Amino acid sequence: MKSKNYKGIILAGGSGTRLRPLTKVTNKSLLPVYDKPMIYYPIETLKSLGCEEIMIVSSSDHVGQVVQLLGSGKELGVKFTYEIQDEANGIADALSLCEDWVNGDNCIVILGDNIYVDNSKVILDKPENGACIFLKEVPDPHRFGVAEVKDGKVISIEEKPERPKSNFCVTGLYIYDNRVFDIIKGLEPSARGELEITDVNNAYIKWDEMQYKEVTCNWIDAGTFDSLLFAANTVLNHRIRIKQ
């Protein structure tokens, strides 16, 4: 049987309010992280996972800048397609815009502000069916979606809980089969008016079709001033280590 094709998706919309005024006239994913724009890091992660076709979802305000920077993708060895998210209605909403382009294949989704410093440590085996999330043990899990893991399985995910059931946060990298788009169509907006990716993941958990991998390299959600600076320093230190 022919193995599934995996198309890559980078979700780089949103208004970047936590990084104002840096993001007043540019997209967050275009801000520099050490020696290159932030969006180059998720591109490299998707390439390391075997994605040769990548769709980038951005806002109408900034998609022109993204296209100007990345072009067709030829220089980076991939093929880019672009989609506009008119309103910031959540991660799952942004993903729904990619259904026709994915065209029955599986997809690997990454958030445009998520940096995995050493892609060689992001495990490469991918599920043919179902979904897979990438977990990282962190000291402040209440800031993220938190996965409860039992007997090698994810049994629940809570979004930014006051009392986390574990220290494992769900990082911004997801693998889905094509049923993800049917799940999104059945979602109701959350209290903040968005279609939540946590609800998508919990649907796969309910079906007992959710796998997980633990991220062993440095991972940064570079959406704040402190984490943006930390990302640059972490990348620099990693470069120094591999040169020694």
* Structural domain count of the chain: 1
At 74, phi and psi to the nearest 5?
A: -60, -40
Residue-wise DSSP of the chain: -PPPPEEEEEEE-S--GGGTTTTSSS-GGGSEETTEETTHHHHHHHHHTT--EEEEEEETTTHHHHHHHHTTSGGGTSEEEEEEESS---HHHHHHTTHHHHTTSEEEEEETTEEES-GGGS-----SSSEEEEEEE-S-GGGSEEEEEETTEEEEEEES-SS-SSSEEEEEEEEE-TTHHHHHHT----TTSS--HHHHHHHHHHTT-EEEEE--S-EEE--SHHHHHHHHHHHHHHHHHHH-
* 1 assigned to some structural domain: no
AA identity, residue 56 = I
* 239 assigned to some structural domain: yes
* 23 assigned to some structural domain: yes
* 179 assigned to some structural domain: yes
Residue 180: give its domain's CATH number.
3.90.550.10
pLDDT at 113: 93
* 207 assigned to some structural domain: yes
* 205 assigned to some structural domain: yes
Beta carbons within 8 Å of 192's beta carbon, 6+ residues apart: none
* 39 assigned to some structural domain: yes
Beta carbons within 8 Å of 100's beta carbon, 6+ residues apart: none
Burial tier of 60 (Cβ tally within 10 Å: 0-12, 13-18, 19+): exposed
* 76 assigned to some structural domain: yes
Token pair, residue 109, equals 């989704």
Q: Distance of CA 158 to CAs 61, 136, 162, 197, 244, Å?
A: 32, 15, 10, 11, 41
Beta carbons within 8 Å of 154's beta carbon, 6+ residues apart: 133, 135, 147, 148, 205, 210, 212
From first to last of its 244 residues, what are the pLDDT tens digits of the chain?
344 689 999 999 776 678 888 888 888 899 999 999 999 999 999 999 999 999 999 988 888 999 999 999 999 999 999 999 988 889 999 999 999 999 999 999 999 999 999 887 776 667 778 999 999 999 988 889 999 999 989 999 998 888 989 999 999 999 999 999 999 999 998 988 889 999 999 999 999 999 999 999 999 999 899 999 999 999 999 988 888 6
pLDDT at 19: 84
Q: Which domain holds residue 202?
A: 6-243
